[in-house]
Amino acid sequence: MIRRAVVADAPAIGAIWNHAISDTIITFTSQAKTLPQITDVITGATPCYVLDQDGVQGFARYFPFRGGDGYRFSMEHTIMLTQAAQGKGAGRALLDVLCADAKAAGTHTMHAGISAENQAAAKFHTVCGFQTLAILPEVGFKFGRWIDLVLMQKRL
């Protein structure tokens, strides 16, 4: 079941997010998220959703693509799943909810910034109707190496 995240979900979201931060290249972030930071995401201006199947197995959120009034109709998103939830349609279900919510809120475009080493995510987004706009060389640095960023977009 996909539902809106509540503050009580913060530890489970933190476990998923911090695993991705410490052990993967799906995010270039290197600092673990704290419970107050995650609570701010959950209670923030844009929604955060969780996949709840015998506990939180994933989360998704969208947020402004860039600062400034001219970008107010463009959003970026994050989807993270436990390994057990991957490959079962959960990512698609979360993305569908995000895009529907964002569209209802007046969003025109949804963006994905994907590590070029995460080919599965790029393929997933292509299947979900996103188009590659650019590959930004060596914009991320993690685990002692430079990583390219694939920027994708879907018009809602």
Are 97 and 133 spatial neighbours (Cβ–Cβ below 8 Å)?
A: no
Element housing 59 (H / E): strand 56-64
The pLDDT score that the predictor gives to residue 154 is 98
Domain 2-155: which CATH class?
A: alpha beta
Helices (H), ranges, 3-129: 10-23, 35-42, 90-104, 119-127
Query: Of 108, 95, 16, nearest to 61 (Cα)?
Result: 95
**Geometric angle at alpha carbon 113, from 47 and 141, rounded to 5°:** 120
Burial level of 49, CB count in 10 A (0-12/13-18/19+)?
buried
Percent over 70 (pLDDT), the chain: 100
Across the chain, mean pLDDT equals 97
> For 132-138, which contacts have Cβ atoms below 8 Å and span 24 or more sequence positions?
none
Q: Which phi and psi (to 5°) does residue 97 adopt?
A: -65, -45
pLDDT tens column, 22-44: 999 999 999 999 999 999 999 99
d(CA 88, CA 3) in angstroms, rounded, equals: 17
pLDDT digits (tens, 9 = 90+) for 107-149: 999 999 999 999 999 999 999 999 999 999 999 999 999 999 9
